[in-house]
Amino acid sequence: MEYLDVLDDNGKPTGQSASREEVHEKGLWYRSAQVVIMNSDGRIFVHRRASMKKYYPGLYDVYFGGHVLSGESSVGALIREVTEEIGIDLIPADFLLLFDIRKADVQNGGSFINNDFAEVYLVRKDFQLSQLSLQEEEIAEVRFFTAQEIHEEISRAESSFIPREREYDLLFSALETKA
């Protein structure tokens, strides 16, 4: 069972930990980490979430990552998650911090509460899609998008991307200044 460090509503550790299930049932605050992977052509690597996911099943996501386990660093969590989900090996020096964000979201009629403080990173890496080893329970499809293609898709009323308007603004602003 995975345990997460519980945070207060300002993102400070409380000294307690809770199971992943308990965190989402009770809406406890925790730390997550996300990474945008961009190739040298400026194209963003995107994945469509598996249909069995509790959180936004079947939608495209610009981020890879997830929960930071108790005692784990955000970069350590991202290295673990990226290796598990797509089979790419990264090292700490690959990561550039873009921004931190506080997120509160309720899914599935209130049965899944996601309250997290996320650190969002950028990794620049070139690879071929054929090199990947996809974790089927997490990822249904992968592809590259330009930033313009993502902008166009998220502006559609029936977008196939996870709705994160405020985050997309932060992300594309950070990519323009830091990437």
pLDDT at 116 over 90: yes
pLDDT at 179 over 70: no
CATH topology of domain 3-178: Nucleoside Triphosphate Pyrophosphohydrolase (3.90.79)
**Which of the residue ranges 1-5, 33-37, 86-90, 110-114 would you say has the lowest mean pLDDT?**
110-114
What is the pLDDT averaged over residues 78-91? 96
Q: Are 114 and 105 in contact (CB under 8 A)?
A: yes
Confidence of residue 105 (pLDDT cuts 50, 70, 90): confident
CB environment 161-173: b (16+ within 10 A), e (fewer): bbebeebbebbbe
pLDDT at 157 over 90: no
With the C-alpha atoms ordered 142, 143, 146, 151, is the resulting torsion angle positive or negative? negative
**Which of the residue ranges 2-6, 105-109, 155-159 would you say has the lowest mean pLDDT?**
105-109
Neighbours of 51 (CB within 10 A): 9
Better-scored residue on pLDDT, 78 or 179: 78
What local confidence, expressed as pLDDT, does residue 168 receive? 93
d(CA 162, CA 55): 9
Q: What is the pLDDT of residues 139-151, one digit of tens each?
A: 999 999 999 999 9
Q: Is the pTM of this model over 0.75?
A: yes
Which tokens belong to 70?
């108790």
pLDDT at 54 over 80: no
d(CA 105, CA 114): 5
What local confidence, expressed as pLDDT, does residue 137 receive? 94
Which tokens belong to 47?
């994945």
pLDDT, mean over the chain: 94
Residue 77, by phi and psi: left (phi above 0), alpha (psi -120 to 50) or beta? Answer: alpha
What is the pLDDT averaged over residues 112-128? 95
d(CA 149, CA 177): 19
